Amino acid sequence: MTRIFLFLATNMAVIALATIVLKVLGIEDALARSGSGINLTGLLIFSAVFGMAGSFVSLAMSKWLALRSTGARVIKQPANSTEAWLVDTVKRQAEQAGIGMPDVAVYDAPEMNAFATGMKRNDALVAVSTGLLTAMTADEVEAVLGHEVAHVANGDMVTMGLLQGVLNTFVIFFARIIGMVVDQVVFRNERGGGMGYFLVVMVAQVALGLLASIIAAWFSRQREFRADQGGAELAGRDKMISALRRLSQTYGHSSLPDSVEAFGISGKGTAGLKRLMMTHPPLEERIAALASGRA
């Protein structure tokens, strides 16, 4: 399952590193000079290179990061009938969805959860928690696996990665435009590139980054509805609804590390302004959408 928070830490780190590198090399000063000295085309190119780099690095590392941070064990040779069933079910669903066979993994966690990640549709990872295998029926686990396979088949990891890259680009670009204007108008630095410019850029990146996260989270919520529908098509609508209802028993409780928490099918529900940052719609909305055929 693609989620914005998997990319967020790496993206913000790359953006911060880009700011420091551009400053040290003097490129910031050149781009921030007043009058004809500002090169908007050059600034946009630099922004795109660094903005997309953060997203690309996050996407490329997603499988490794997920396995390492959760301690998930990839099933290379099934050790029991449950593992054999997991591999066979994912294989069948992947064939139905027209994608390559993902790696199947199990990680130790008490809550019911599962996630999928990976840079390519034909080289993905689907992992389930031990809590999910214990608490859910076989039909419900099948539906959860279908949900994750649907994420892979829909190309959600790549889509969200590209979206984050575009958002990063505009964060870097407009933060520097804001910095240049404030530096000249407020700090009266006609040459541009002063300390005021640098500080304003850093603050603007944080503010614009928050806005970018809200936009990405909204797209993520829409893709959850699509994955629910995909799970219903692969496993059956009743099974998918039953699985979502079962998730309510531990919904919002996750032992996943922060870097992959938003991957999980059991996202944290909330209300008010915090809802803007939700990567998953509330369970009741997802169930209602499936029941009405809107998902």
28, 111, 140, 148: the active-site residue: 148
Q: Which two tokens stand for residue 83?
A: 């593992």
Beta strand pairing call for 103-107 and 123-129: parallel
Under DSSP, the state recorded for 116 is: E
**139 near 103, Cβ under 8 Å?**
no
For tokens 């998930």, name the residue: 72
Question: Is 285 labeled as catalytic in the residue annotation?
Answer: no
Per-residue tokens: 139: 């039909």
Catalytic residues: 148
